[in-house]
């Protein structure tokens, strides 16, 4: 199991964009350029944590949806 780490400002921003761009089922489109942030394990600092966001590849891009924990985190960040 990976040790807990702080989210970067970029990761926080991506999570908020997923929420903002989500459809009625909670899925938001992910572009080909952003897809590696969910799939490439070689990225320094790691990828978007799976505990916070689900990702499914679709074509060259994909789609992402916040988990319950991801939504709770964004709700809590509004108070910080």
Number of domains composing the chain:
1
- 42 CA to centre of own chain: 17
Residue 49 belongs to a domain? yes
CATH number at residue 32: 1.10.10.10
Residue 1 has pLDDT above 60, yes or no: no
β strands within the chain, DSSP E: 27-30, 53-58, 61-66
pLDDT the model gives residue 45? 65
- The domain in which residue 24 lies consists of 9-77
Residue 4 belongs to a domain? no
pLDDT the model gives residue 63? 97
The pTM assigned to this predicted structure is 0.85
Residue 39 belongs to a domain? yes
Burial class of residue 30 in the structure, from the number of CB atoms within 10 Å of its CB (0-12 exposed, 13-18 middle, 19+ buried): buried
Instruction: For 6-54, write each residue's pLDDT tens digit.
Output: 888 888 999 999 999 999 999 999 999 999 999 888 877 668 888 999 9
Residue 2 belongs to a domain? no
């Amino acid at each position: 199991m990976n040790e807990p780490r702080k989210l970067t400002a970029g990761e926080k921003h991506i999570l908020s964009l997923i929420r903002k761009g989500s459809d009625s089922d909670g899925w938001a489109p992910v572009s080909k350029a952003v897809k590696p942030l969910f799939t490439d394990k070689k990225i320094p600092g790691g990828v978007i944590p799976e505990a916070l966001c689900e990702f499914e590849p679709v074509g060259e891009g994909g789609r992402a949806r916040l988990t319950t924990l991801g939504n709770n985190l964004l709700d809590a960040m509004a108070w910080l």
